[in-house]
Amino acid sequence: MRASEVVVCGGGGFIGGHLVAELRRREVGRIRAVDLKPFNEWYQRFDDVDNVVLDLRRSDDCKEAVAKAAQVYNVAADMGGMGFIEHNKALCMLTVLINTHLLTAARAAGVRKFFYASSACVYAAYKQTSPDLTALKEEDAYPAMPEDGYGWEKLFSERMCRHFTEDFGFNTSVARYHNVYGPHGTYDGGREKAPAAICRKVIQAQINGTDEIEIWGDGQQSRSFMYIDDCLKGTLMMMDRGIPGPLNIGSSELVTINQLVDIVEGIAGVRLERRYNLSAPKGVSGRNSDNTRIQQILGWQPSITLREGLTKTYKWIHEQMLTREATVVVS
């Protein structure tokens, strides 16, 4: 057995931490988790994993990360929700260094399989101008007009993977994730995505004894949201079967942001007055995943309902916030 069978780049992040946990459950062999953040900022960390702090924007650090690896999962990125993406386009674009250096280092190291986590932000903006949109098929990324900054970086990195496969015979798999959420993720600070942000706002309203919630935009913008367990299942199926992609991995359960708030309020057992911030970043008007291709190729599609996933996510965020409140009171 090679010294490090599987490497998860971005292993200290939300998706990366869950991926490491699932790989441990599968007993895949030795696992290395790599992230830029110091250990105390990792979302999940496991003592039986080779945890390493490296800056994957650097070529030499990528070489160290993938040394003696058989498989590499690249889920590393400098990103967040719409608030972060809108105001940090240059930082999002610089993430291109990670995938570029990782591909080069992995090929040189003899890595057998390489996974790249792309995003639904690669899809053309002109196909997402209405909340009542047609679900996005994989071919809808072209002619290209992705999300400025983050979407362009993801689309370019997809092409890098494609050409490494075509030109060098290097086995890559590319998935386009659609709005992944779940426990052990960011829920405040500016990088959180809509499901976690709404959960936090509802919980905070209860803690503060207020009866209102701020919603970015008019609440009519539509999205699908995928629970982390479905994300992991689709990712590992792609790698197990050597599916190159790009392939949508996303729920097809479309809701408006207002409906998302309805579900979280139902879980919490409250009803809040809604205050709409029309000047806040809201992203495209509508986005949903067409799962025709993933059903054809894998015979599967994400199936965990939004209510089921949000119930688990809300419970975790609620516990974190109550613990934080208690700590503040004690101190």
Catalytic residues: 150
Listing DSSP states for 24-82 in one string gives HHHT-S-EEEEESS-GGG-S---TTSEEEE--TTSHHHHHHHHTTEEEEEE---S--SH
Alpha-carbon distance of 203 to 213, in angstroms, equals 10
Q: Tokens standing for 1?
A: 């057995």
Q: Tokens standing for 299?
A: 């015979």
Alpha-carbon distance of 327 to 322, in angstroms, equals 9
Q: How many CB atoms lie within 10 A of CB 142?
A: 12
Only one residue has tokens 């109550």, namely 322
Q: Name the amino acid, one letter, at 118.
A: S
Alpha-carbon distance of 82 to 284, in angstroms, equals 10
Alpha-carbon distance of 195 to 175, in angstroms, equals 21
125: nearest Cα among 144, 108, 99, 104: 144
Q: Tokens standing for 211?
A: 């009866």
Burial of 45 (0-12, 13-18, 19+ CB in 10 A): middle
Phi-psi region of 66 (alpha: psi -120 to 50; beta: other; left: phi over 0): alpha
Distance of CA 81 to the CA centre of its chain: 10
